[in-house]
Amino acid sequence: MLKYQTVPVTPFAQNCSIVWCAETQDAAIIDPGGDLERLLAEVKRLQLNLKAIWLTHAHIDHAGGTAELAAKLDLPIIGPHPGDQFWIDGLPQQSAMFGFPPAGHFTPTRWLADGDTVQIGHSTLNVRHCPGHTPGHVVFHSPEAQRAFVGDVLFAGSIGRTDFPQGNHAQLISSIKERLWPMGDETVFIPGHGPESSFGEERRLNPYVKG
Ligand SMILES: [Zn+2]
Ligand SMILES: [Zn+2]
């Protein structure tokens, strides 16, 4: 059984999610953008064994704490897709530009591709490549829990920005319709910012992707 707890981090209130297997208490942390002390206090409070870092994409508010956390606890870095290499290379400039603490450089232990799976304890999540916001953006889907961790692909009532280098609006819309909608209307998604919603709700009401 997959469980999760979302902790908003960084001045951008990015939804970092701690996900874990309820049987083993093994946990992964999705998008540790920063505020590591707060995240680690939460991991401790929940009595979890942190095993890995999973990244949806390499924007500073999602990946800024990765190098420090990985080094501190000797954790593997899983994801994103190699399309985000240039964003990883640019993390030092991203932190300077947005006034974040200096973000260290890192090399993912394992890059992800569409159709891959990631494992935590007895839970397996499917990886879908959803380019458009960034070229290497991935999402993590648990069919068992009917939850999807979608980063900045889709928000309640909105979609990710596509005005960054290599952003692509048409590609983002295709990613949402072809890779998120098939996960089912009842699936609840945890976006990178703001409240949770379901795919069915967005198909009905989100002006960018409805119908
Ligand atoms: Zn982003
Ligand atoms: Zn973001």
- Residue 91 placed within a domain: yes
State yes or no: pLDDT of 211 exceeds 80. Answer: no
Cα of 24 from ligand 1 centre, angstroms: 31
pTM (global) more than 0.85: yes
Structural domain contains residue 211: no
What is the total count of domains within the chain? Answer: 1
SS3 per-residue string spanning 112-162:
CCCCCEEEECCEEEEEEECCCCCCCCEEEEECCCCEEEEECCEECCEECCC
Evaluate whether residue 150 is within a structural domain: yes
Residue 71, pLDDT > 80, answer yes
Give residues whose Cβ lies within 5 Å of ion ligand 1: 59, 152
Over the stretch 193-207, which tens digit does the pLDDT of each residue have? 999 999 999 999 999
Distance between CA atoms of residues 81 and 155, nearest Å: 21
Domain-located, residue 94: yes
Q: The CATH number of the domain where 90 resides is what?
A: 3.60.15.10
CA of 177 to the centre of ligand 2 (A): 20
Ion ligand 2: residue ranges with CB closer than 5 A: 61, 152, 192
* Ligand sitting nearest the alpha carbon of 10: 2
Ligand nearest to the CA of 192: 2
What sign does the CA torsion over 72, 90, 61, 98 have?
Answer: positive
pLDDT tier at 80 (50, 70, 90 boundaries)?
very high
Number of residues in the chain: 211
Structural domain span for residue 63: 2-205
- Which ligand is located closest to the Cα atom of residue 161? 1
In a domain, residue 82? The reply is yes
pLDDT digits (tens, 9 = 90+) for 34-59: 999 999 999 999 999 999 999 999 99
pLDDT at 104 over 90: no
Write down the pLDDT at residue 82. Answer: 98
Q: Report yes or no on 210 lying in a domain.
A: no
Of 172, 137, 178, the C-alpha closest to 158 is 172
